[in-house]
């Protein structure tokens, strides 16, 4: 019996309050309105950004259905949707691509004005929600919401992918892999023979290491305070691992020492802390070094830094979703994965049934996991 046009009752992990576990609830998911798509989620990763909401660092309106790194199949579409049809395999886009706004039309950017990241409203573009639970409306998370059996997204925030691709792996192309890899190859524009330092070796940081390697960097320093992350970093392309806790000097001075006083050509902060963002900047070459902020710092934080760090010529940039224009890039990244141009397996340390989502978060927080994939 078709569910099209009807409210679907299903399970979702609801974030009711910060600093509390998610609660698996029965929710109602309304049918997609015009230009919207309802997706049956089949696999979703747990990214630190989801945890930033639960820790209170990333301020968003609650209650909310989190999750933004996913893959699934289209259940039904609203009026006027032509980009996907029921049965298509898709990845939801946490950075949409409307194709009409200035960033979409420019070759210089990817942060479509339809995004719900710079000022999180937690709603569909028309200002309403498609989720309810116990009579209360639930917020959507950054155009996606994937910790649920069914979600609704705007047609600008979904793209069709190769039906042969394994959804429990390519869901990582929806965030972690593409974000880290793109930050290196596209935002930093790492050059062949250059030296790089990646701060933070989670799913996103290891993907940045892969990007530095693919771009032909000759030295890639993998920086983390958890040495258990080092074997994996070496496996995906790091040439040296550095634990800041092993040194008395600040990590930027350590990296200067390790590069004969030059500093690295490219540094990427993939943690989400202001102190490591400042350290990453100070680690790169004083004249032509580039430092990229990938980690999401707490919403209320500020950085105090010496302007001479930039005066001498350094470049400081940020990178959302690896600088990719999501609709254009994701199908190509999926076919590159199918063509074995890069691997995703090293990023996936655990697979759990969706109901065990809180265990997945515990493993992320304790540093035991890289990516946990939840299956439905
Ligand atoms: P995850 O928590 O898996 O990795 C972070 C790593 O940093 C861990 O290995 C930690 O041990 C390490 N770490 C923590 N503190 C320090 C420190 N002081 N010095 C050195 N290493 C440290 O996180 P993730 O890989 O899922 O995400 C990383 C960040 O990227 C996080 O802030 C997340 O919110 C952000 C992000 C950004 C974007 C984007 O579009 N820019 C998309 N997704 C995630
Ligand atoms: Zn993410």
Residues 53 and 166 in one domain: yes
pLDDT average, residue stretch 180-191: 98
Range of the domain at 314: 180-319
Classify strands 8-15 and 23-29 as parallel, antiparallel or unpaired. antiparallel
Here the CATH number for the domain that contains residue 215 is 3.40.50.720
Measured distance CA(203)–CA(373) in Å, rounded? 12
Residues 115 and 216 in one domain: no
- Whether the per-residue pLDDT at 122 is higher than 80: the answer is yes
| Count of structural domains within the chain | 2
Q: Judge whether 334 lies within some domain.
A: no
Measured distance CA(213)–CA(188) in Å, rounded? 13
Measured distance CA(152)–CA(144) in Å, rounded? 8
Residues 23 and 91 in one domain: yes
Q: What value does the mean pLDDT of the chain take?
A: 98
> Is any atom of ligand 1 closer than 6 Å to the C-beta of 149?
no
Angle separating helix axes 251-258 and 274-283, nearest 10 degrees: 20
Among 150, 129, 142, 138, smallest CA distance to 41 is for 150
Residues 322 and 187 sit within 8 Å (Cβ to Cβ): yes
Distance from the Cα of residue 175 to its chain's centroid? 3
Classify strands 158-160 and 150-154 as parallel, antiparallel or unpaired. unpaired
Report the percentage of the chain scoring pLDDT > 90: 99
Protein residue closest via CA to atom 17 of ligand 1: 225
Q: Judge whether 332 lies within some domain.
A: no
- Whether the per-residue pLDDT at 102 is higher than 80: the answer is yes
Residues 78 and 206 in one domain: no
Q: Judge whether 328 lies within some domain.
A: no
Residues 40 and 58 in one domain: yes
Provide the residues around ligand 2 (an ion) whose CB is within 5 A. 47, 49, 175
- Whether the per-residue pLDDT at 1 is higher than 90: the answer is no
Residues 130 and 235 in one domain: no
Q: pLDDT tens for residues 188-215?
A: 999 999 999 999 999 999 999 999 999 9
Q: Judge whether 2 lies within some domain.
A: no
Residues 168 and 187 in one domain: no
Q: pLDDT tens for residues 281-340?
A: 999 999 999 999 999 999 999 999 999 999 999 999 999 999 999 999 999 999 999 999
Residues 146 and 201 in one domain: no
Residues 242 and 219 sit within 8 Å (Cβ to Cβ): no
- Whether the per-residue pLDDT at 365 is higher than 80: the answer is yes
List, in order, residues 6 or more apart from 167 with CB less than 8 Å away.
Answer: 42, 43, 71, 72, 89
Q: Judge whether 47 lies within some domain.
A: yes
Q: Judge whether 141 lies within some domain.
A: yes
Q: Judge whether 354 lies within some domain.
A: yes
Ligand 1 center–CA 38 separation, angstroms: 30
pTM of the model: 0.98
Given the structure tokens 């990453």, which residue do they identify? 280
Ligand 1 center–CA 322 separation, angstroms: 14
Residues 151 and 79 in one domain: yes
Classify strands 219-223 and 195-199 as parallel, antiparallel or unpaired. parallel
Residues 313 and 351 in one domain: no
Q: Judge whether 142 lies within some domain.
A: yes
Q: pLDDT tens for residues 216-268?
A: 999 999 999 999 999 999 999 999 999 999 999 999 999 999 999 999 999 99
């Amino acid at each position: 019996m078709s569910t099209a046009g009807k409210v679907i009752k299903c399970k979702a992990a609801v974030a009711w309050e910060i600093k509390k576990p998610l609660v698996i609830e029965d929710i109602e998911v309304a049918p997609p309105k015009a230009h919207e798509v309802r997706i049956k989620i089949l696999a979703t990763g747990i990214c630190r950004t989801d945890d930033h909401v639960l820790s209170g660092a990333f301020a968003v309106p609650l209650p909310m259905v989190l999750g933004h790194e996913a893959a699934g199949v289209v259940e039904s579409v609203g009026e006027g949707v032509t980009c996907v049809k029921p049965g298509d395999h898709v990845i939801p886009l946490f950075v949409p691509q409307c194709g009409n706004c200035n960033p979409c039309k420019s070759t210089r950017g990817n942060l479509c004005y339809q995004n719900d990241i710079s000022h999180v409203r937690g709603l569909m573009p028309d200002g309403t929600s498609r989720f309810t639970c116990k009579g209360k409306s639930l917020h959507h998370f950054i155009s996606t919401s994937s910790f649920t059996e069914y979600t609704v997204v705007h047609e600008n925030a979904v793209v069709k992918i190769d039906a042969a691709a394994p959804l429990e792996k390519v869901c990582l192309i929806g965030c972690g892999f593409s974000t880290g890899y793109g930050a290196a190859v596209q935002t930093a524009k790492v050059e062949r023979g250059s030296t790089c330092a990646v701060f933070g070796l989670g799913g996103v940081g290891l993907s940045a290491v892969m990007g530095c390697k693919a771009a032909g960097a000759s030295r890639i320093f993998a920086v983390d305070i958890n040495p258990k992350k080092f074997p994996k970093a070496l496996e995906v392309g790091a040439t040296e691992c550095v634990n800041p806790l092993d040194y008395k000097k600040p990590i930027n001075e350590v990296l200067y020492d390790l590069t004969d006083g030059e500093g690295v050509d490219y540094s990427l902060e993939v943690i989400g802390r202001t102190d490591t963002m400042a350290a990453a900047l100070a680690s790169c070459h004083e004249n032509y070094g580039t430092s990229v902020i990938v980690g999401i710092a707490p919403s209320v934080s500020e950085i105090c830094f010496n302007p001479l760090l930039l005066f001498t010529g350094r470049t400081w940039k940020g990178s959302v979703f690896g600088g990719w224009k999501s609709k254009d890039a994701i199908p190509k990244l999926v076919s590159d994965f199918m063509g074995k141009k890069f691997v995703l397996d090293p990023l996936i340390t655990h697979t759990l049934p969706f109901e065990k989502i809180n265990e997945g978060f515990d493993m992320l927080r304790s540093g035991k996991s890289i990516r946990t994939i939840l299956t439905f």
